[in-house]
Amino acid sequence: MDTYIPPLIFTSDIVAAGEDARAFRRAARAGHYLRLRRGVYCARPDWDLADGRGRHIARVRAVVSQLRPDSRALVAGYSAAAIHGFEVLRRFPDDVTLLTPFRGGGTAEPGVIRTSARWRDDHGATVEDLPVTSEPRTLFDIVLRDGFVGGVASLDSALRRGTTDSAELAEFLERWRPATGMTRCVVALAHARPASGSFGESACRATIVTLGFPEPALQAEFVDAAGRMYADFFWPEYRIAGEFDGKIKYTREEFTRGDPSEVVWREKLREDRLRRKVRTVVRFTWDDVRDPRALAALLESAGLPRHRHVSGRVDTAPRVSFGA
């Protein structure tokens, strides 16, 4: 995992080293250290260097450090997603989620959310010495939390990096068969694609599906005298190409070498080449994903037919084979 995780400072270690714990606490009150848990801190410069995922992992480590040795709690939900390195639709929260075997409903404490929902003793794993829900369980928890668009995007990201595959996820789901949400999980997995080029592309494609448009082919290759190029989405029947965030895909070296003005100029030339291969090119941004009606208007204006009416659910979407 490339994420920078700010190191933790334990007041117990300060005392054990014979240092002045009261001076440390004064420095913390002055803002030089951030308190994560009672007796667990992080230096402010280290905290400022970390992104949302890194900060959340630091909070997870702080919480886990205070679990009892006989605890069967598992880091779960978005907290487990942070540890596994999964991409998620929403920002990582301040609270750490723990899955516990205790019945009678979830309980909360400052900085921690404990839940016993869908507890299974065989859904645990150890990642970087942390007890977490397994990759499959974590991914389907994301589906159940974030719905179809966020769930498909997270599933795509996991399939793309190759630490799991559709067959393994389908087998896990068949064994688990949650009492609620099984259909949502099955439908999301049926639409997961390892060929998706980015989290944003996945969220865009999933939104397109919910709007009732046909699912596009991914990373379509086009060849001309100048070489190869790729489009994020392609509907071959209608000769419509789609690009997320306005970048036609090339190798990293081809796309980034040279000064910014040269990069922009080459991008324009490549777009012109692509347009000569298709009927039209539609460009999408995150704003379109957040506003499905705007996204639908783009596709309809390009001439893509809509097979179903707008719906917040896709439980009735056409069945497709896993990983197709």
118-150 pLDDT, tens digit each: 888 789 999 999 999 999 999 999 999 999 999
In a domain, residue 96? The reply is yes
Question: Domain end: 133, 165, 183, which one?
Answer: 133
Are 230 and 129 in the same domain?
no
Phi, psi at 71, each rounded to 5°: -65, 140
Question: Domain end: 109, 133, 157, which one?
Answer: 133
In a domain, residue 27? The reply is yes
User: How far is the C-alpha of 156 from the C-alpha of 159, rounded, in Å?
Assistant: 5
Asked if 214 contacts 197 with a C-beta cutoff of 8 angstroms, the reply is: no
pLDDT tens-digit readout, 116-125: 888 887 899 9
In a domain, residue 175? The reply is no
Are 15 and 118 in the same domain?
yes
Check whether 254 has a pLDDT greater than 80. no
In a domain, residue 167? The reply is no
The tokens for 33 are 């250290």
User: How far is the C-alpha of 149 from the C-alpha of 191, rounded, in Å?
Assistant: 10
User: How far is the C-alpha of 192 from the C-alpha of 154, rounded, in Å?
Assistant: 9
In a domain, residue 280? The reply is yes
Number of domains forming the structure of the chain: 2
Domain limits for position 54? 9-133
pLDDT tens-digit readout, 65-92: 999 988 899 999 999 999 999 999 999 9
According to the model, what pLDDT value does residue 312 have?
Answer: 45
In a domain, residue 2? The reply is no
Check whether 250 has a pLDDT greater than 90. no
Contacts of 104 by beta carbon, 8 Å cutoff, 6+ apart: 116
Check whether 322 has a pLDDT greater than 70. no
Are 107 and 218 in the same domain?
no
User: How far is the C-alpha of 195 from the C-alpha of 200, rounded, in Å?
Assistant: 13
The tokens for 151 are 């769930």
Gyration radius of the chain over CA positions? 23
Average predicted confidence (pLDDT) for the chain: 88
Asked if 307 contacts 212 with a C-beta cutoff of 8 angstroms, the reply is: yes
Q: pTM for the whole thing?
A: 0.85
